[in-house]
A and B are shown apart, each in its own frame.
Chain A
Amino acid sequence: MRAGDGARRRLTSPIFLGVLPFAAGAVVWTILVRAYHISPVFLPPLESVPAALRSMFIEQRVATDILISSLRVAAGFAVAVLLATPLGVLMGYSFRISQIFEPVVGFIRYMPVPVFIPLCLLWFGSGDLEKVIVIFLGAFFQLTLMVQDAAGGVRQDFYEAAVMLGAPRRALIFRILWPAALPQIFDSYRVCIGWAWTYLIVAEIVGATAGIGYYIIKAQRYLLVSQIFAAMAIIGLLGMTTDLLFGAGHNLLFPWAKKKRSFLT
């Protein structure tokens, strides 16, 4: 082994590569603040963000808001998954069923989530229920079509092969369609939960009394800009963690359909 090999390996290690854009962002940020003397009201110095983060956790109990937001996302997303999965599977399996539901799902799917918020506030108030319903409405219709796509994309010759091996028609959904489509369905969940976070933050910014989105709008009101950035960092970290968990879950649940390596695995 040559002397340069170790250093080269360190320079191409996944963690180093992944951190690189963050570091570049930090450098640009610092240059902007230092060289152009931008007012902290618009862009606070980078080092004020960790400080804000600390005071948020210690003095303002932001952990509770994180928990509340996470539970809202989890609840809304879970309901969407529980309803969209069977409907999407049936739509993918049966052309008739897809003919019934596809127009209405496609119709609602194109409505941006914020248009649901005024009605939901009117009908369900500004509490947890309204947030869960907004997330559900945002996720359900998209997810249904994604699951339908996954279920409908199962190779037809798998069904023929199964039938020739003696499987009765009624066994095809559970023995062929479901296991064949599940990795892609799982990927749809992964994409969809990211959207669910977006919908939640929008709902919390428009009208809420707790949660990270509420926290951001509160910080903006008092011009605590470094807290806004800190809250954004929290959202980013939560999203990245969720995504990593889904990625690891994919490889764990579907060893036969392993993905390209993600940066932890």
Chain B
Amino acid sequence: MPDLRFSRAAASKQAIRIRQLYKTYDAHKEKIAALENLSCDIAEGEFAVILGPSGCGKSTLVRIIAGLEQPSSGTILVNGSRDSAPGKTCSMVFQSYTSFPWLSVLDNIAFAMRYTSTKTKHERRTRAQELARMVGLENFENAWINELSGGMKQRVSIASALATESRILIMDEPFGALDSQTRMAMQEQLLTITEKTGKTVVFVTHDIEEALVLGDRIYVCTSRPARILAEMDVALPRPRTPEMRNRKIFVEMKYEIFHLLRDHVYAQILETHRARR
């Protein structure tokens, strides 16, 4: 089934609609602007990648989408609704490993279902086992989180997030702390999962190749305060494979994006340095 998601993304309605979003923080004496006049639309079923320099405000953007933070001004509609109570419409995978160490792998995966589903205890367990299998943790159901490697911890987080059955999955640099081989393997597995579940994914990264391997559409952000610098469709067919990194279009887009970002990366380095002093 090639290209199924792609066409659906193009045809269907918006999952997330953002208009003139501003966010400023009070830091000591000065105000720091994280987002400035940011607008974009993310279609339902789309794998959207938010790409930008480190520290530019990408995380702030998805935290606002998730409902964990409130914008200073602007509108944001998630599934057509302004109600942004966290945990209602989106699920989230964080960069820091947030699975609960006091629960087993299976109990972690089943955690959300206590609140979001009407299933019986037995059904919840069966569903959790299904999800564990989906992320390749079927032999680690009873393991403690601290016994797992970073990649496995993130798989638990992904399965836990999938258990909420929410239509939108936000991933805030989920593979940022992994070594490059593990990261490639995790990207491959994430592709399999999202191509199967058809969820809308909002994926934050600063890794251009990661953005191209995973995304249907890439939203390139400026240095802080973040705006959308460019939106790009990734014209690679699905299912995606690691070998697509060798395609001409992949390599061309990679350097196109790099040239777009280069000045913003330098600007962000200076900005981060300034803010730390």
B116 within 8 A of A: yes
Q: Is B96 an interface residue (CB 8 A)?
A: yes
| B144 with A165: CB separation less than 8 A | no
Nearest residue, chain B, Cβ from A176: B100
Give chain A residues whose Cβ lies under 8 Å from the Cβ of B144: 255-256
Chain B residues near A182: list those with CB within 8 A: 102
B191 to chain A, nearest CB (A): 22
**A263 interfacial by beta-carbon distance below 8 Å:** no
Bound complex: CA A256 to CA B147 (Å): 9
Q: Are A157 and B100 in contact, with the CB atoms below 8 A?
A: no
Q: Which chain B residues border A161 with CB–CB below 8 Å? A: 92, 94, 98-100, 157
Flag if A158 contacts B115 (CB, 8 Å).
no
- Number of A residues with CB within 8 Å of any CB on chain B: 21
What CA separation (Å) do A168 and B114 show in the bound complex?
A: 11
Is there an interface contact between A160 and B146, defined as CB atoms closer than 8 Å?
no
The prevalent SS among residues of A at the interface is helix
**Smallest distance from the beta carbon of B113 to chain A beta carbons, Å?**
9
Known: A157-B94, A161-B94. A166 touches B102 (CB 8 A): no
When C-beta atoms are compared, the residue in chain A nearest to B157 turns out to be A161
B203: CB under 8 A from chain A?
no
Contact with B along A6-38 (1 / 0, CB 8 A): 000000000000000000000000000000000
Q: Would you call B66 and A164 a contact (CB within 8 A)?
A: yes
Chain B CB count within 10 A is highest, among A158, A168, A179, A257, for A158
Q: Verify A256–B102 contact, CB threshold 8 A.
A: yes
B68 partner residues in chain A, CB cutoff 8 A:
160, 163-164
Query: Which residues of B32-48 are within 8 A (CB) of A?
Result: none
Give the shortest distance, in Å, between A33 (CB) and chain B (any CB). Answer: 51
Contact digits for A221-265, partner B, Cβ 8 Å, 1 yes 0 no: 000000000000000000000000000000000111100000000
- 8 Å CB interface, A157-197 against B: 157-158, 160-168, 171, 176, 179-180, 182
Indicate if the CB atoms of B100 and A179 lie closer than 8 Å: yes
Quote the shortest CB–CB distance from B104 to chain A (angstroms). 8
Would B164 and A165 count as touching, CB distance under 8 A? yes
B→A interface (CB under 8 Å)? 66, 68, 86-88, 90-92, 94, 96, 98-103, 111-112, 115-116, 144-146, 157, 160-161, 163-164
Closest 5 pairs between A and B when the two form their complex, measured CB to CB: A166-B115, A161-B98, A165-B112, A179-B102, A256-B144
